[in-house]
Amino acid sequence: MHKKSAFLLQSISFLLERPTLFALLKPYLWWLQWKNPFPTLAQFSYRITLENVLTLYGRKKPVVWASLFFPAEFIYALDGAPFYPEITAGLFSALGVGAIPLFHAESHFFSADLCSYHRLSVGASMLRFFPRPDFLCATSGICRETVPFFQTLAELFGVPLYLVDIPHEFSPKTVRYVASQLRSIAQNLKRDRRVTWDFERPFELAQKTQTVLQEIEALRRKKEVMILPPTKNLDYLPYYYQFMGSETSLSFFQKLRDELRQNPKNPLPHRLLWLHLKPFYSNFLSALLTELGLGIAFEEFAATYSGELKPKEPFQGLAEKITVMSHALMDEKARIARILQWVSEYQTEGVIQFNQWGCRQSQGMNALLRKTLRGEGVPVLFLDGDHIDRRHHTEEQWRTRLQAFAEMLGG
């Protein structure tokens, strides 16, 4: 690497590892609050991002890294600050700074075939761009790459990793098995880190958030209103996962619901279901979908859990949540059944899946998914590319496929 860039990268990591430096954000946050006591959704998101930076990099609380399907409620219950590297990889990509960590990981033998959510996260961890974790929690669902990825992170930072094994099949026995693992992690944390647990508040907030989310879903089911720009909802991923069980998620979704109620947009001619995530670095795709009249009525990763979380049996409830949500994505039949249900509930005319380069979880099911959907008369389009690594994308190829799909739906 060029000496100047190496020095720059080292300086950035040095600064990011100085918690006191982030205290400088406080007056700015205070000013933001004073200036916008009733912030819009975008202003709210901006403030939350900065507050999160302050908490995580300023080391206000124990920083707990988790895989996407490890519930944040567990982390809030131990008064930790959850950090989801896979979600942050999306943020880095959206901010246009993904190339540096991707390149760093690749130059250290992390293959370019490895899923870019993990590749970017490993690179950012090696460069110390991500906030240093106190410990890590991960589940073996939904994809087989997650475990080795978290093992690598544990080794990189020299911190403990708490793993939850998720069996493929779903049954009461599986839920009990997952609950017993969560219980034992909780006991270990109590013993090793003197953690005290309080599930009451995060569970209450998560349940309230679920209610608001159900109201949002009801609004989005209405055919006459298309209330979010295509794929926009996937930018709200942190509120579905990282902040679930906190005031942040609840306030965000209350705000979103109110905005949707007040400002319904004109519907686009077509209503579609979006599977998997999207390229976060590109605004082109959303603009293209709008231009072609392809509206997105619902997204697979915006699916929420509607089961009850009881503070008296916290591990049972959380185990059920993890198992239900993972099973719905890991199991071909369960996933496809859920997709068909959304097609009917949201009255969508077709389905688009944005295939992530190297993702076995989603693409392994493509043949059956396509066959079943076509059998039900539902057109399906697979778009190939990468959600994080812009080197794998070509806008004109998306345009031709999407335009042909729109013509097929419209013709």
Partner 1 sequence: MYVAGLDIGSQSTCAVIWDGEKIRGVALRPSGVNPKQRAEEVLENALREARMSRSSLGKVVATGYGRYQVEADLRVSEITCQAKGVAFFFPQVRTVIDIGGQDSKVILVDPKTGKVLDFLMNDKCAAGTGRFLELMAEVLEIDPGEYGILAEKHQEDVTLSFTCAVFAESELIGLIAQGKTKADLAAAVCQAVAKQVVRMAERLNINPPLAITGGVAQNRGVLYFLEKEIGLKPLVPPEPLLTGALGACLST
Smallest distance from the beta carbon of 7 to partner 1, in angstroms? 36
Give the binding range for ligand SF4 (CB under 6 A) out of 137-145, 201-209, 262-270, 300-308. Answer: 137-145
CA distance linking residue 170 with residue 325, whole number of Å? 10
Kindly determine how many residues on this chain lie close enough to bind partner 1 according to the rule CB under 8 A: 15
Q: Is the CB of 224 or the CB of 396 nearer to partner 1?
A: 396
Q: Which does 142 bind (CB under 5 to 8 A by kind): partner 1, ligand SF4, none?
A: ligand SF4
Q: Which is nearer to ligand SF4, 143 or 343 (CB)?
A: 143
Q: Of 256 and 402, which CB lies nearer to partner 1 in the complex structure?
A: 402
Q: Rounded distance, CA 273 to CA 295, Å?
A: 9
Tally of CB atoms within 10 A around 177? 16
Q: How far apart are CA 110 and CA 1, in angstroms?
A: 17
Partner interacting with residue 403 (select from ligand SF4, partner 1, none; CB below 5-8 Å by kind)? partner 1
Segment lying near ligand SF4 (by CB under 6 A), choices 10-18, 247-255, 353-361, 393-401:
353-361
* Cross-strand pairs, 298: 273
Site string for partner 1, 215-234 (x = CB under 8 A): --------------------
Query: Which listed option, partner 1, ligand SF4, none, makes contact with residue 143 (CB within 5 to 8 Å by class)?
Result: ligand SF4
Task: Give whichever of 145 and 291 is closer to ligand SF4, judged by the CB atom.
Answer: 145
For ligand SF4, how many residues bind (rule: CB under 6 A)? Answer: 10
Residue 309 touches which member of partner 1, ligand SF4, none, C-beta under 5-8 Å by kind: none
One residue of 88, 152, 361, 372 binding ligand SF4 per CB under 6 A: 361
Specify the residue, 344 or 394, whose C-beta has the smaller distance to partner 1.
Answer: 394
Minimal distance, residue 111 CB to partner 1, in Å: 16
Specify the residue, 316 or 356, whose C-beta has the smaller distance to ligand SF4.
Answer: 356
> 82 forms bridges with which residues in the sheet?
64
C-alpha separations of 33 from 22, 258, 305, 379 in Å: 17, 20, 32, 47
Tokens of 328: 């719905």
Residues 89 and 122: beta-carbon distance below 8 Å: no
What does each C-alpha distance from 354 to 101, 125, 293 come to in angstroms?
23, 26, 18
Q: Which residue is it, tokens 């929690």?
A: 137
Question: According to the binding rule CB under 6 A, does residue 115 interact with ligand SF4?
Answer: yes
| Residue whose CB is less far from partner 1, 113 or 224 | 113
136 vs 406 by CB, closer to partner 1 = 406
Q: Is 145 in the site for ligand SF4 (CB under 6 A)?
A: yes
| 143 lies in the site for ligand SF4, by CB under 6 A | yes
Of 228-236, 261-269, 334-342, 355-363: span binding ligand SF4 (CB under 6 A):
355-363
CA–CA separation, 150 and 132 (whole Å): 14
Beta strands in 311-385 (DSSP E): 350-356, 380-385
Binding partner of residue 404 among partner 1, ligand SF4, none, CB under 5 to 8 Å per kind?
partner 1
DSSP of 167-186, one letter per residue? -SS-SHHHHHHHHHHHHHHH
Whole-angstrom distance, CA of residue 370 vs CA of residue 381: 9
Tell which one of 57, 117, 240, 315 touches ligand SF4 (CB under 6 A): 117
- Taking the least distance from each CB to ligand SF4, the nearer of 238 and 295 is 238
The size of the chain, in residues, is: 411
List the single partner that 115 binds among partner 1, ligand SF4, none, CB under 5 to 8 Å by kind. ligand SF4
Q: How many helices (H) and strands (E) does the chain have?
A: 18, 8
Contacts to partner 1 from residues 372-411, by CB under 8 A: 374, 379, 384, 394, 396-397, 399-401, 403-404, 407-408, 411
In whole angstroms, give the CA distance from residue 19 to residue 280: 28
Burial 15-53 (b: 16+ CB within 10 A, else e): ebeeeeebeebeeeeeebeeeeeebeeeebbebbebbbe
Buried b (16+ CB within 10 A) or exposed e, 309-332: beeeebbbbbbbbbbebbbbbbbe
Residues making contact with ligand SF4 (CB under 6 A): 86, 115, 117, 142-143, 145, 356, 359, 361-362
Residues making contact with partner 1 (CB under 8 A): 367, 374, 379, 384, 394, 396-397, 399-401, 403-404, 407-408, 411
